[in-house]
Structure 1
């Protein structure tokens, strides 16, 4: 009986976690997709040498967030969000900017997916 309660609690916590994370990524992608040339984010992309890539990165982020949200495609979403956040971390590091928020988001993506799919790390425990 205790196991079922924990399992239900885990599912609820996971859906809250995944929902919040997905909402943040969808909001970020939407901001990129709707940004005008004079928007702060567009100016940052120019500063980072990514002029003209805002729409491409925004679409990639949106697709990855949607895949992450859907349980059946969450593993692909995790991989795409990991690549996206890895690029963000590298870009911020290269320009001497703070990269800790992106690193924390990356960790939270993996924690959320682990709560949903604990077997995702099974290959590390195989003999």
Structure 2
């Protein structure tokens, strides 16, 4: 696969993830009634849910900006780890957050060659 195709794939996946995280964050930031009800069932107050939305959108912004993308990627990985743990703790289906986490790691491996090299233990 050419470097151009790799770059395009990385950015397409970034856009897909960006849309997913933006939708999720917007539900938290706008205090959507159904989202608040779901959050309340998991023990989150509206204020806590708003703070989670702020962290999510800031992490996403860092992930999209090339210069800060690796920091944003690490924050989103940690965020999704928390989402998976919350789903497991409350005995909710965890397939969706696990799939998003996997897609995030695939995107990271494509966008950041040095990370890919470290993950796959490849030499330069």
Normalised TM-score (structure 2): 0.89
Mapping of residues 54-69 of structure 1, within 5 Å = 54-69=49-64
Structure 1: unaligned runs, 5 residues or longer: none
Report Cα offsets for 1:78-121 as digits up to 9, x if no partner: 11111111111111111110011101101111111111112114
- How far apart in 2 are the matches of 1:97 and 1:20? 24
Structure 2: unaligned runs, 5 residues or longer: none
Higher-Rg member (1/2): 1
What is residue 10 of structure 1 aligned with on the other side? 6
Aligned length: 121
Mapping of residues 1-127 of structure 1, within 5 Å = 6-36=2-32, 39-51=33-45, 52-124=47-119, 125=121
Moved segments of 4+, more than 2 Å: 121-127
- How far apart in 1 are the matches of 2:9 and 2:122? 28
Contact map agreement 2:63 2:72 (CA 8 A) in 1: yes
